[in-house]
């Protein structure tokens, strides 16, 4: 059971970000105000430090909580191990003249994202600001959507853009190398969207698979990347009319031994469970496509098609509808109330 301990100061339509230093956490929402959470007491209070200048994203590295200053080329940090700020603890993005959209910590280094280029900084222990730009390094891809970066294991994922061209999905690693992971088909799909700068990145790890989820609210689309297989998939939710929309679990985290997801539409918290075959009671559509079979651009006829599909894997289901009773096996099968569990359906368009 989850209990609410407070609310953000400015209820808006943009994502919030949270990070802690082991004793206290800070919650930012892109405005000049923020909340502070004392973890031992679970109390929420406003951040009233005059040197706090807002942020869209927070992260933690080497006892410092790091933040970007919205609308500027600056980023800054708290004092070591505290939710307190010094006006001199400020770094400036200098390798390319653009603003700082987000900061992400990976393996004790900080990736500083701008719209056109990205820089890597490290903790040099300098005074007054402890971080310094990593010499001789610049990431040639910037960030096209400030809420798209997500860190999974030792990688950072984001929706990129560069001065030379359009959008790609990138993965950066601890060797300070960024590589393209999007496909031409996905990039062509994104070109059709009215907006991509509102994209939201999130993800989770389950059964050894790291999933990076990229949601486009305006386009009403969600795409997922499986780090283990290197494959992309479209993630959908179905409404009562059978129309596909973006996935409900836009925001994900791991807490209390569970993969927890926040439903963007309702605010409900759900458990992401690979052994549950509905989307909060709504059927999940699994659409599988196949590669084209070619024969030197000639027509190809197939005499038959065999689909090898496992059925009846969900509890209470099989190849036919089942009647499920809430009582133990010692009761008569006719002792109600009974619930009808429909068999899985396979359909070909």
Q: Which pLDDT score is estimated for 92?
A: 97
Percent of the chain whose predicted confidence (pLDDT) is above 70:
89
Q: How far apart are CA 184 and CA 168, in angstroms?
A: 9
| Statement: residue 290 has pLDDT above 90 | no
Q: Is the pLDDT of residue 273 over 80?
A: yes
Residues 212-243: tens digit of each pLDDT: 999 999 999 999 999 999 999 999 999 888 89
In the chain, pLDDT over 90 holds for what percent of residues?
65
Reported as a single tens digit per residue, the pLDDT across 21-76 is 999 999 999 999 999 999 999 999 999 999 999 999 999 999 999 999 999 999 99
Looking at the domain that runs over 1-139, which CATH code has it been given?
2.130.10.10
- Looking at residues 164-187, what average pLDDT do you find? 92
Question: Structure pTM?
Answer: 0.85
| Helix/strand/coil percent split, the chain, to 5 | 0, 40, 55
Q: What is the mean pLDDT of residues 111-133?
A: 95
If you average pLDDT over every residue of the chain, what do you get? Answer: 89
- What is the reported pLDDT for 329? 67
Q: Where are the alpha helices (DSSP H) in the chain?
A: 184-191
Q: What is the structure's pLDDT at 344? A: 67
C-alpha radius of gyration, the chain, whole number: 24
- CA dist 340 and 345 (Å) reads 15
Residue 314 clears pLDDT 70, i.e. is over it: no
**What pLDDT sits at residue 6?**
81
Residue 10, pLDDT score: 67
Query: Which own/partner pairs from 6-9 qualify as long-range (CB within 8 Å, at least 24 positions apart)?
Result: 6/35, 6/37, 6/43, 6/44, 7/44, 8/35, 9/33, 9/34, 9/35, 9/46
pLDDT at residue 328 greater than cutoff 70: no
Distant-in-sequence, close-in-space partners of 131: CB < 8 Å, separation ≥ 6 = 77, 91, 110, 121, 122, 123, 124
Predicted pLDDT at 180: 96
The residues spanned by each domain of the chain are 1-139, 141-307
Q: Name the nearest CA neighbour of 254 among 237, 269, 243, 239.
A: 269
């Amino acid at each position: 059971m989850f209990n609410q301990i407070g609310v953000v100061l400015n209820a808006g339509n943009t994502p919030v970000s949270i990070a802690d230093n082991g004793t206290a956490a800070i919650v930012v929402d892109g405005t000049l105000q923020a909340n502070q959470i004392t973890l031992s007491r679970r109390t929420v209070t406003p951040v009233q430090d005059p040197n706090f200048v807002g942020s869209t994203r927070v992260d933690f590295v080497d006892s410092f909580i790091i933040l970007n200053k919205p609308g500027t080329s600056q980023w800054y940090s708290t004092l070591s191990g505290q939710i307190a700020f010094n006006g001199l603890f400020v770094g400036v993005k200098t390798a390319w003249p653009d603003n700082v959209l987000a900061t992400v910590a990976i393996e004790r280094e900080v990736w500083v994202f701008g719209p056109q280029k990205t820089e890597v900084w490290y903790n040099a222990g300098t005074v007054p600001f402890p971080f310094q730009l990593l010499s001789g390094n610049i990431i040639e891809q910037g960030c096209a959507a400030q809420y798209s970066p997500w860190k999974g294991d030792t990688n950072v994922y984001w929706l990129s853009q560069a001065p030379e061209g359009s959008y790609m999905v990138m993965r950066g690693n601890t060797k300070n190398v960024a590589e393209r992971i999007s496909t031409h088909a996905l990039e062509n799909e994104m070109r059709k969207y009215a907006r991509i700068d509102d994209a939201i990145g999130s993800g989770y790890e389950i059964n050894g698979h790291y999933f990076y989820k990229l949601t486009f609210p305006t386009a009403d689309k969600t795409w997922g990347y499986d780090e283990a297989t290197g494959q992309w998939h479209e993630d959908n939710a179905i409404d009562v009319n059978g129309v596909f929309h973006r996935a409900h679990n836009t925001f994900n985290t791991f807490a209390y031994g569970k993969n927890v997801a926040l439903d963007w539409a309702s605010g409900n918290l759900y458990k992401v469970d690979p052994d549950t075959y509905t989307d909060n009671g709504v059927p999940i559509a699994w659409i599988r496509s196949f590669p084209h079979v070619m024969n030197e651009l000639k027509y190809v006829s197939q005499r038959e098609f065999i689909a090898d599909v496992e059925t009846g894997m969900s509890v209470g289901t099989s190849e036919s509808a089942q009647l499920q009773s809430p009582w133990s096996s010692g009761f008569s099968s006719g002792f109600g109330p009974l619930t009808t569990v429909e068999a899985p359906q396979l359909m070909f368009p």
